[in-house]
Structures are given as C-alpha cells and as structure tokens.
Structure 1
Amino acid sequence: MDKVIDIEERIPSLREKRKRRTNRKFIFLLLLFLLVLAVLLYFQSPLSKVESVGVEGARLNSGEDYIRASGISEGDALWGFRKSESARKVASLQGVKNAEIARTGLRSVTIKVEEWEPAALIEEEGAFHAVLANGEVFSAPAGPVPAPILTGFKPGKEMNRMVKELDGLPGSVRALISEVKSSGDKENPDAITAYMSDGYEVRGVISGFSEKMAYYPSIVSQLSDEGKGVIDLEVGLYFRPYKEVYGDGSDPDGENGTEDEGTAAEDGSGEEGEDGE
C-alpha cells in the first residue's frame, strides 16, 4: 500500500526552497547593481583618465611629435581610444618602421616606436640629412649620427644601392667610414671611394661592398708594417702606399718589384710593369 504524504508536511520544505531561491536572486541583483555602480563611478573618477604618456625609441622624431601624432593626451579617457588606430597614426610619421601603443600601469600609456636606422648622411641645402636604411632621406637636419657622409650620389637607385650596402655592414666597420664618394665614370659607373677614419682609403664598387668590407679589420691588421695607403677591393684585394698613389709613382730605391710598389693579395696580381702604374 502506497504511503500517503500529508501536504502539511511538505509545505515547510517548499517554503524553504522558495526562500533560498529568492535570496540567490536578490544577492545576484545586488552584486550586479554594485558592479554597474562601481563601473559608473570609475569612469567618472580621475582613475579612468590618462595620467602620463611616455615614448620609447624616439631618436629621429621627438617624443612630442609621436605623442601629438597618436592623438592621446594627459586627461583623456584611458579607454577612450583604439590602440591600433593610434599606432597607425604614429607609424605614418617619416622614419618610423613600426609603432605599438600599450596601456601600462594603472593610468599610463606608452608609445613604442621602431625607427629606421640612419645608414648614411647626405648634404642638402647646407645641412646634413640622415639617409635611412630604407633609402629615404629624412627631412629634418640630422644631429650627431655615427654614419658615413655620401658625396656625389644623387637620390635614386644608385644611392639606394649604396645605402643598402652600408646598412649590411657590421656597425663597428660602418663607424670607421668617414665618407663614401661616388667616383664612377662611363666605363665603371659603380666605382666608389671610401675614406676611413683610421687613415686608409678603400676603392671598390657598390655591388658586394658590404661583403668585402666585412673583412676590413682583418685586412688592416695585416698592413701594420706597410704604412697608410689605398686598399683596392674592386678586383681581389690590392694595397698601395700613399706615396706611390699620390706621389710620382716611382720606386724610391730605383727598382721595380719591391714592397714600396704595393702589396697584392688573394689573386697575386699586384705586380706592375717596368713603367710603374
């Protein structure tokens, strides 16, 4: 025989379940209200405003230029701008390779920029301008830049090729180059002359210049007893002292084939005829 449960016995348990369910709903609504209230208070308080804007990596352009381009100012809503859009505006400035904007700390914004490296300098209208690694001539006059001066190069394909070669050099070698002069003619339009800060002169061609010049420290270390002079990298490697190149070309001892007439390397083709150069 089935047991009959009196409804009077079930009423207290039903009431308890309804009460717990009602309490949960009340607590949920209360927490939701408090959360919305906290968000509203946050956006109305100074805590939601930009306290400072910093810039990292600025050398070509000033930090103020990057902040102005981003459109972000102190006191602006911290969440009132899109990072990607502001970064795109910063990246549109001349000389910028890449830009990134990040919210840092509680109320700070940091603009991180990656600029193109200055590979050379060129004189325009009485002032030196940096030639960037992408071949672009920076519009503002350059400050102290450890880069060689380009002479005789016109903006265009030839200069871009030269800049690419310079950018491919190790920084320690590029810092030794004071000036690169375009010395080409109709027969050899790519000929160049590099004047080194350690007193040597290097002659070569644009194509492959960075590859050959990477060995410059090793080459110079073997010429310590030869004195200063011209290192010819156009075909193989050949060295001649300055007194031979810029003097009368004669052997001081009155004989040919001595060390004063030059030192050939790699291809062993440094010997000259009896008539000198």
Structure 2
Amino acid sequence: MSELEKEKVVVLEERVPKLKQRRRQKVNRRLTAYIAFFFMLILSIIYFQSPLSNIQHIEVKGNQHVSAGRIIELSGLTNRTSFWKVKAEQVERAIESHPEIKQAKLKKQFLNTIVLYVKERRRIAYIEHKQTFFPLLENGQILTENKPKTALSDAPILVNWKKGEDIQEMAGQLAQLPPYILNAISEIHYAPTKYDRYHITVYMNDGFEVSANVQNFAEKMLLYPAIVKQLNPNVKGVIHLEVSNYFKAYDEEKKGDGNEKNTR
C-alpha cells in the first residue's frame, strides 16, 4: 500500500467517529423536537378541556341605565364559556336586542378577559302617568318595564300627554335637540287651545316658561340660549315661540296690558 493510500485510510478512520457523533446529535435533536411537540399537544388538549381556557373576567363599559348584570345576562357569557369559542357578532346582536341598547361591541383582552362596550339610546323624556314615569327613548319607543317611581333629572317630564301619535311627534322634536338644551327643560305640558291643538307649555330649569308649538319646537328651542341672554335673569316670565318670538314678564301676563319685549 502506498503512502498516499495509507494517509486516506487514516483520515477516513478519524472521520467515522465524528460522522457517527453528528448523526447521533441529529437524531437526538429530532427526537427532542418530537417529544416537545408531543408534550405541547398534550398541554394544549389539557388547557382547552380545562377551566383555564374559560372566560375569567367580564367588564361592561358605557352603560348608564341598563345594569352591567343585565348586559352580561343578555350576552350569554359566563365563567364556563370558552374564551376561544366566543363569537363576537352573535354576542353583540344578543345585547342589542335590548330596547335601550343602540350598539354593542365585544373586545377580547389578554388573560381571558372580555370587555363589552355599549352605547345606550338617549332617554329624551319621561311620560308621567298615575305617578309613574315611563322613559321615552330617542327612537320614539316607550319603556314599560322597570319604570321608575320618580323621574330622573336627565330628561324632561311630559305631563298630560295621552295620544300615542302626539307623543311620537313630540319625541321626534326632542330627539333633534342637543343635550345642553334638553337638560335645561324641566317639564313639557300638553296644553292645546281652541285655535292650536299642538300648543305646549314648557317649564325651564332656570325659572322661565316657554309657550310653543309641537310642530316646530326643535327649531324654535335652538334659539332659546340666545333669547335668554337678552333677558334680565331676575325678571321671570313667558317666552313666546309660537310664530313670532317675544317675552312677557309674569306681571305683564296677568295684567294683559300688551307690553312685550321682542326677542328677535
């Protein structure tokens, strides 16, 4: 055997153990990967079958009149519901079935938390009937369940309103008013006259009284803040907004002397 051939044999003999070692390392890495995958699969199965994958917390935000408990009840979600099986659209539709809920949105947060964001329909008035107050929503719907025995201060009270169509027309006008004007109204009395079946008397929280007409009420009431600025806050009276706009102090109203202040 030549010297060259001997050198090749020696080199091969030195490489064989290294090749075997690399092969073993490759097999070990592959085996380790398979074992890790197997354990991850087992852990995933255990996790999804255990209470650990269920909803841990449910939060409700944006509600004012509808309780958080009622909203969660409508959602159908409990701490036995799988966090990963929650269908947002289905839950949102269920919550929006409540007459006071205008919009619902579900968000998932880390650590199995569900947040329910809701937007309620505005209560634009309370209809007084036999010492009970029925909330009137911005879409014209009257709530007959869970009616309060005392009117809340977030909307005016409608007094002497009997006919549904009159209430609906008034609701349409109130829905057009911005909150700062709506909140300034205390009571709205249906007070038809011989010449105007749509006449109303409005009592304001600042002590003024407004004589108006249902049909153009929203348009006229938008002028109210500017009109009041022109008046003496210590002299209360009636602001007439039927056709032309003018003010009469209570003393002048009683005397009927015709003295009036034009508020145009």
Kindly provide the amino acid, as one letter, of the partner of residue 261 in structure 1: N
Judging by fraction of residues, say which structure has more helix.
Answer: 2
Structure 2 letter corresponding to 1:118: R
Aligned equivalents of 2:163, 2:45: Cα separation in 1: 57
Please give the alpha-carbon distance, in whole angstroms, between the structure 2 residues aligned to 1:137 and 1:154.
13
Corresponding position of 1:172: 180
| Structure 1 counterpart of 2:92 | 87
1:141 corresponds to which of 143, 147, 165: 147
Q: How does 1:136-215 map to 2 (within 5 A)?
A: 136-139=141-144, 140-142=146-148, 144-154=152-162, 156-185=164-193, 187-215=195-223
Residue of structure 1 in register with 2:119 after alignment: 114
TM, length-normalised to structure 1: 0.77
Instruction: For 2:92 and 2:234, locate their aligned partners in 1 and report how far apart those are by CA, in whole Å.
Output: 55
* Aligned with residue 249 of structure 1, among 252, 256, 260: 256
Q: How does 1:253-264 map to 2 (within 5 A)?
A: 261-264=259-262
The equivalent residue for 1:68 is 73
**1:142-189, CA deviations, whole angstroms, 9 ceiling, x for partnerless residues?**
362321111122353321221222222222222221111112246422
Paired positions, count: 249
Deviations 1:246-273 (A, max 9, x none): x2324xxxxxxxxx7111243xxxxxxx
Moved more, 186-195 or 118-127: 186-195
Q: Can you list the C-alpha shifts for 1:25-63, whole angstroms capped at 9, x where unaligned?
A: 767655543442232132134431221222112222211
Of 199, 217, 221, 2:229 maps to: 221
- In structure 1, list runs of 5 or more residues that go unmatched: 1-8, 251-259, 267-277
1:272 maps to what in 2? Answer: none
Unaligned runs of 5+ in 2: 1-11
Report the CA distance shift for 1:225/1:81 in structure 2 as closer, same or farther (over 3 A): closer
Q: Aligned partners of 1:75, 1:68: CA distance in 2, in Å?
A: 13
Q: CA deviation at 1:201?
A: 1.0
The answer to whether the Cα contact below 8 Å between 1:118 and 1:145 also exists between their aligned partners in 2 is no
Per mean C-alpha deviation after superposition, the further-off stretch among 198-207 and 142-151 is: 142-151
Could you tell me how far apart the structure 1 residues matched to 2:41 and 2:175 are?
56
Query: Aligned residues: percent identity?
Result: 31
* RMSD value, Cα: 3.0
d(CA) in 2 for partners of 1:226, 1:56: 42
Instruction: Report the residue type matching 2:227 in the other structure.
Output: I
**Structure 1 letter corresponding to 2:108:** R
Tell me the secondary structure at the aligned position of residue 85 of structure 2: coil
Separation in 2, partners of 1:210, 1:137: 20
